[in-house]
Amino acid sequence: MEQSEAVSFFYFQHLQNIQEENNHLSADCPVCKKQGREYAGRLVVYLQKAGFFYGYFRCLNRCAPGGFPLWFARFMGISLDDVPGYNPDREAFLPSIDYPLANINNEINLYHDRLNAEILAWFEKGGVGPAVLAEMKIGYNGRYLVYPYVQEDGNCYAARCVFPEREEDFFWHGDEHFFTDQHHIFNLQDIGRCEDGALFICQGEKNLLVLKQLGFPGVAVPDCHSLELLDPDRFALVHTIFLVMENNAEAVAAARSVAARIGYKARLFSWPAGLAKNYDLWQLACDKGNDFKTAVLAMIQASRAFSPFVSPQREYGAFFAQLALESGSSYEALKTGFPLFDQALDGVHGINVIGGAPKSGKSCFAIQIGTEMARRKVPVLYYDFENGRQKIYQRTLSRLSRMTTSAIKEGVTARVVSQPLEQARQDFQEMLASFRVVNDRKLNPEIMRRHIDFIRHETRSDYTVVVIDSLHKLPFKDFGEQRTGIDAWLRQLEAIRDELQVSFLIISELSRGSNDGYTDTPHMGMFKGSGNIEYSADNAMVLYPDWDPVDSMLHQQRQNKLWLVASREHAPGLIGRYGLDYPYWGFVEKVERDE
């Protein structure tokens, strides 16, 4: 027998005076009879096979909360073995809570008795009638609505008191131990009643009330924060969960966060475009009136099972859109200006780490690459923790003007500025539109993301280059956490690279090798506190002085070798030789190469 037929047969066995209609059956309510009511209501069971609420029952008299077959069996004392699909081996969620002896049940009843005509009229605006308010034990303390947060043991220890027209005005009443987030589930007993069935999770108690008026089961949380802290294990035995949040970005993000933890069974309601911010089910009920149920049913049908994966169609489109970007001029512009470097690595793409001995010229090398790219209108963020903004600018202007920094200072104060300096000043000023130096010692990944957003917006560019000088001086909580901090930063830089189309040029220190020096054959283990560098870097390079630091050779004769020691896509080896362009704070790539 199919599951749907088995559920129908189960109810036929345990109900009397049954009448069948298209998608449901009705019968005398055994709960009303069990309670000795003079007028027994009719019990309705929904049997639409393709529906999410197949097998859900409720009494039209609201003599007891509705639920699915397992709840019906427990409530009526029927053996669970008779319930279709029952699995005796699965474990229900058991909260580890020691409930106190004292509760506020009597207070909740008194508050309910204080509901007056004005408050009833307020609820009636959303279509919520007295029967639902009585079922949910909603009360009024003379100023605030009182929403009782009944616990698994059936008692209430805390209630949330909310001003009707101003929801931000609220407070908690009762036992303060139940004011914490773990207890912030309104009507949580419906979770157990919906085993193997469907359940709503709403933001805000009044939004749940309008659904209860329609006969749907559900729970509510007071806000987004409480939603994100929901324990997904509570809903392990529920088959389908509808998440209905307010119409705002924070609520949507919270819903997606909890849906990712609940899994495929979560389905998100989406609001049509053009609705006001914070629009919710209560407002929908007020606007739609008698058509509210039709609107909710349409939203149920339009809901989609949550998936953390991008749809195949979007993935396909994103892949080819990225290919188009990588074949465009913006991607092609990510070149260093050093022909051998660009030939070896195809420019600056991904995470590029350059290590070098102290005073080997790493910063000058990075400044030259960064500023040359900025001169070609590539947006460059230079995070400097080594030299200071003024030195970076002076050295750049020296290289552009072919004048020493001292000559530049003299020329700036002179009445007549030389032609080379004037032209360099113009080039430098234009370059600054694409070049930003940041010395923020409180930098964190989130601030870096915002910086990237800003410069991309200002330059209208698809790509951004970020230079970090240096990796080991990025802000950490304290020096003792440097190794852990470097690894954490590298993980964040990987995410930024992939999400924001950012290329990194990162300067790293090297560890001393044999004889306490830096002359060993280049390899990945040379990077100081290497941690995840070998895994995170797309290209790892070492800049080696090809000269003796104690030798008295002329500055102009000094050369450095740049080695590619590891790469995801390119062959390791010597990239090229770079002669010091003294005294203009730059390097000149030598055409000749050796192996």
Q: Does a structural domain hold residue 161?
A: yes
Mean pLDDT over residues 257-263, rounded? Answer: 92
pLDDT > 70 in the chain, percent: 94
Mean pLDDT over residues 274-292, rounded? Answer: 95
Do residue 149 and residue 210 come from a single domain? Answer: yes
Query: Is the pLDDT score of 571 beyond 60?
Result: yes
Query: Is the pLDDT score of 114 beyond 70?
Result: yes
Query: Is the pLDDT score of 462 beyond 60?
Result: yes
Q: Does a structural domain hold residue 361?
A: yes
What are the residues whose beta carbons fall under 8 Å from the beta carbon of 438, sequence distance 6 or more? 381, 382, 383, 384, 451
The pairing of strands 24-28 and 19-20 is antiparallel
Do residue 524 and residue 476 come from a single domain? Answer: yes
Helices (H) and strands (E) in the chain, counts: 22, 22
Do residue 250 and residue 358 come from a single domain? Answer: no
- Tell me the pLDDT tens digit for each residue of 21-47: 888 999 999 888 877 777 778 999 999
Q: Quick one: pLDDT band at residue 496, thresholds 50, 70, 90?
A: very high
Give the model's pLDDT for residue 515.
66
202 sits in the region (left: phi over 0; alpha: psi -120 to 50; else beta) called beta
Helix (H, G, I), strand (E, B) or coil at 2: coil
Among residues 15, 48, 82, the one where a domain terminates is 82
Q: Where are the beta strands (DSSP E) in 380-440?
A: 380-384, 435-438
Query: Is the pLDDT score of 595 beyond 50?
Result: no
Do residue 117 and residue 63 come from a single domain? Answer: no
* DSSP 8-class letter at 356: E
Do residue 143 and residue 253 come from a single domain? Answer: yes
Q: Does a structural domain hold residue 320?
A: no
Among residues 82, 113, 137, the one where a domain terminates is 82
Do residue 339 and residue 274 come from a single domain? Answer: no
Beta bridge partners of 384: 469
C-alpha distances in angstroms, 418 versus 75, 399, 402, 403, 414?
A: 95, 15, 12, 10, 9
Provide the mean pLDDT of the chain: 90
- Least confident range from 149-153, 274-278, 356-360, 550-554: namely 550-554
Peptide linkage before 470 cis (omega within 30 of 0): yes
Give the model's pLDDT for residue 199.
96
Q: Does a structural domain hold residue 312?
A: no
Do residue 498 and residue 426 come from a single domain? Answer: yes
Among residues 305, 320, 343, the one where a domain terminates is 305
Q: Quick one: pLDDT band at residue 353, thresholds 50, 70, 90?
A: very high
Query: Is the pLDDT score of 255 beyond 70?
Result: yes
Q: Which residue has the higher pLDDT, 331 or 340?
A: 340
Do residue 449 and residue 345 come from a single domain? Answer: yes
Q: Does a structural domain hold residue 322?
A: no
- Tell me the pLDDT tens digit for each residue of 156-195: 999 999 999 899 999 999 999 999 988 999 999 999 999 9
Q: Which residue has the higher pLDDT, 535 or 291?
A: 291
Mean pLDDT over residues 380-386, rounded? Answer: 95
Residue 463 belongs to a domain with what CATH number?
3.40.50.300
H or E segment and range at residue 266: strand 266-268
Report the distance separating Cα 307 and Cα 260, nearest Å: 7
Residue 56 belongs to a domain with what CATH number?
3.90.580.10
Q: Does a structural domain hold residue 433?
A: yes
Do residue 343 and residue 298 come from a single domain? Answer: no
Q: Does a structural domain hold residue 550?
A: yes
Give percent helix, percent strand, percent coil of the chain, each to the nearest 5. 40, 20, 40
Q: Quick one: pLDDT band at residue 92, thresholds 50, 70, 90?
A: confident
Residue 64 lies in domain: 3-82
What are the residues whose beta carbons fall under 8 Å from the beta carbon of 171, sequence distance 6 or more? 144, 160, 161
Q: Quick one: pLDDT band at residue 561, thresholds 50, 70, 90?
A: very high
- Tell me the pLDDT tens digit for each residue of 123-135: 999 999 999 999 9
**Alpha helices, DSSP H, located in 439-568:** 445-459, 482-500, 533-536
Residue 216 belongs to a domain with what CATH number?
3.40.1360.10
Helix (H, G, I), strand (E, B) or coil at 536: helix
What are the residues whose beta carbons fall under 8 Å from the beta carbon of 92, sequence distance 6 or more? 192, 195, 236, 237
Do residue 297 and residue 399 come from a single domain? Answer: no
Do residue 114 and residue 233 come from a single domain? Answer: yes
Mean pLDDT over residues 549-565, rounded? Answer: 74
- Tell me the pLDDT tens digit for each residue of 515-555: 666 666 777 777 876 567 888 999 999 998 877 655 655 56
- Tell me the pLDDT tens digit for each residue of 401-438: 999 999 998 888 777 778 889 999 999 999 999 999 99
| Radius of gyration for the chain, computed over Cα atoms and rounded to the nearest angstrom | 35
- Tell me the pLDDT tens digit for each residue of 408-418: 988 887 777 78
Query: Is the pLDDT score of 209 beyond 70?
Result: yes
Give the model's pLDDT for residue 546.
77
Q: Does a structural domain hold residue 570?
A: yes
Total domains, the chain: 3
Do residue 65 and residue 130 come from a single domain? Answer: no
